[in-house]
Structure 1
Amino acid sequence: MRQFTAVVNPAAGSSSGAADLLALARLLREAGAGLETRYSRSLEHARELAREAGGRGRVVLAVGGDGIAGGVGGALSGTGAVLGLVPAGRGNDFARALGRTGKALDVPALAKTLLHSTPRVVDTIEVTSAVHPGVSVLGSVYAGVDAVANRHANTSRLLSGAASYYVGGARAVAGWRPAAYRITVDGTEHRERGYTVVAANSGYYGFGRHIAPGALLDDGLLDVVVIRHGPRRLFFSLMNELKTGAHLSRPQVRVLRGKEIRIEADRPVPYGADGEVDAVLPVTVRVQPGALKVLA
């Protein structure tokens, strides 16, 4: 029987997240599995807890949103340890890419998955910059107006979920001026002027927006989505189209694919990774094929 360590972000999600975790713990223990719970003080602390538990052969559960999922999953990347997700954040985009549907968490179904499913092997992303010297994440790295929007959404006290991202996006676009990007994909340089560059392992980011519909978690490639310069109203139209992937038909959207991507700009443009925004360009991202086992 599997033994679990839950690494919990106590600041993520809503009151329902705590109830879901209690219900999940009861089902796991009733089935004979062992479960211990560890509360993280920071993302780096969550990584430390994950590495320690994974080193003891335990399945590590990331309880929270995309930030802790990316932090815990990144810490386990390349170690052979197994990750399980308990989506309790606002976006839960990596869980969505793994097949989670609906807003409410189906706790009995999740318990069954954690207890009995065969681990799936997926890719991860190595992020290298002045702030991140070789940190691994799961979903995507994005540089531009969406990083600014996500920062606003993360600090919003009045709104949550998609509403916080819409308002954050409006604030970000209102103050944005186009950046001149230099994007090097597997040694080939591309120059674009615009809103953002997203290097995606997962197709989803920003609370369910399907930014990279062609991205696969296990193909050994990253999809690079570039939103070029256009009228400000364009970006608001794109925000609606991101729900379905319809934005790919617009001439302002370009998609590249590769294994190693270097993103630079003509000014210190902020970038984020898996919901966390704390650095500026330049950044280099590399796909790490088959680096993580996850229960999904």
Structure 2
Amino acid sequence: MRQFTAVVNPTAGSSSGTAALLPVARLLREAGAEIDTQYSRSLEHARELARRAGEAGRAVLAVGGDGMAGCVGGALSGTGTEFGLVPAGRGNDFARALGMPSDPGELAGVLLRGTARPVDTIEVSSAVHDGISVLGSVYAGVDAVANRHANTSRLLRGAASYYAGGLRAVTAWRPASYRITVDGVLHERRGYTVVAANSGFYGFNRRIAPGARVDDGSLDVVVIHDAPKRLFFAMMNELKTGAHVRRPQVEILSGREIRIEAERPLPYGADGEVDAALPVTVRVQPGALRVLCPEPVPEISSRR
């Protein structure tokens, strides 16, 4: 029987996280599992709590959205600790990629009896981030600006906050000149964004990289080139299905180590958190995290 420590988001997820966790925790306890709830004071404190619980041999649950999932899961990368998700944020994109159920009973069943499957993580290195790990994606450009707007919105929630943030960001955007080095090969491009994706989803159910798989040992690099803004707005709608990848303005590269630079200071984000600026280097860490998830998993490679 697994024993759990749940680490709850200290900010936006504190109330919604508690609401999401309570029915799941009750079902886990009724099944005989022990679950300890820890409320973190900050993301760094959440990492500390997660590491401490993992060292004690407990499965660790991240309760919150993608920022919390990336924070806690990243802290456990390479440790062998079993990691689970209780989705309670705006986007929940990594949970969506893994096919995590929203029903408390189904979710409790996955956490109790699900297989701990190895998935890749992303190591992020920059002037701000000294080798931290995240789960879903690292993105630099207009989407980082949009996500910052969404995170600071007090009036809108969920998909509405992302759409409004995107509209505001694109309206004011000036195309940037990027230097993208993929496994030692330089690509110079001008455009809207560069996304290094482990998971195919980001930005509240947007399929930015439909071909990405979380266990294939590589990152999909999506580059959206310069284009009229009306075309970019059309692509925003196509992100719902992944149809944007058929446009000539969208280029997809693939590699294990990616460095992203730009000719002006640009923000980059990682798993929903935007607090740093380019340049940044990201590296895939194959099979570094053991995640409790259902079967079949949409974004688990069929080769395994």
Distance in 1 separating the partners of 2:86 and 2:7: 10
Which residue number in structure 2 is paired with residue 83 of structure 1?
83
Distance in 1 separating the partners of 2:10 and 2:258: 34
Distance in 2 separating the partners of 1:80 and 1:128: 22
Question: 1:145-164 counterparts in 2 under 5 A?
Answer: 145-164=142-161
Distance in 2 separating the partners of 1:13 and 1:169: 22
Question: 1:26-41 counterparts in 2 under 5 A?
Answer: 26-41=26-41
Question: 1:60-139 counterparts in 2 under 5 A?
Answer: 60-100=60-100, 105-139=102-136
SS in 2 for 1:119: strand
Q: Which runs of 5+ in 2 are unaligned?
A: 294-304
User: Amino acid of the residue matched to residue 151 of structure 1?
Assistant: R
Superposed CA RMSD in Å reads 1.1
User: Amino acid of the residue matched to residue 64 of structure 1?
Assistant: G
Q: What is the CA distance between 1:99 and its match in structure 2?
A: 1.1
Would you say how many aligned residue pairs link Structure 1 and Structure 2? 293
Q: What is the CA distance between 1:34 and its match in structure 2?
A: 0.5
Find out whether 1:244 has 2:244 as its counterpart: no
User: Amino acid of the residue matched to residue 245 of structure 1?
Assistant: G
Are the counterparts in 2 of residues 218 and 290 from structure 1 also a CA contact under 8 Å?
Answer: yes
Distance in 2 separating the partners of 1:82 and 1:93: 19
Q: What is the CA distance between 1:36 and its match in structure 2?
A: 0.3
Are the counterparts in 2 of residues 13 and 89 from structure 1 also a CA contact under 8 Å?
Answer: yes
Question: 1:251-262 counterparts in 2 under 5 A?
Answer: 251-262=248-259
Distance in 1 separating the partners of 2:80 and 2:13: 29
Are the counterparts in 1 of residues 20 and 87 from structure 2 also a CA contact under 8 Å?
Answer: no
Distance in 2 separating the partners of 1:283 and 1:88: 29
Which residue number in structure 1 is paired with residue 220 of structure 2?
223
User: Amino acid of the residue matched to residue 76 of structure 2?
Assistant: L
Find out whether 1:290 has 2:287 as its counterpart: yes
Match 1:268 to one of 236, 243, 265: 265
TM-score, normalised by the number of residues in structure 2:
0.95
Q: Which runs of 5+ in 1 are unaligned?
A: none
Q: What is the CA distance between 1:218 and its match in structure 2?
A: 0.2
Identity %: 77
User: Amino acid of the residue matched to residue 144 of structure 1?
Assistant: G
Which residue number in structure 1 is paired with residue 25 of structure 2?
25
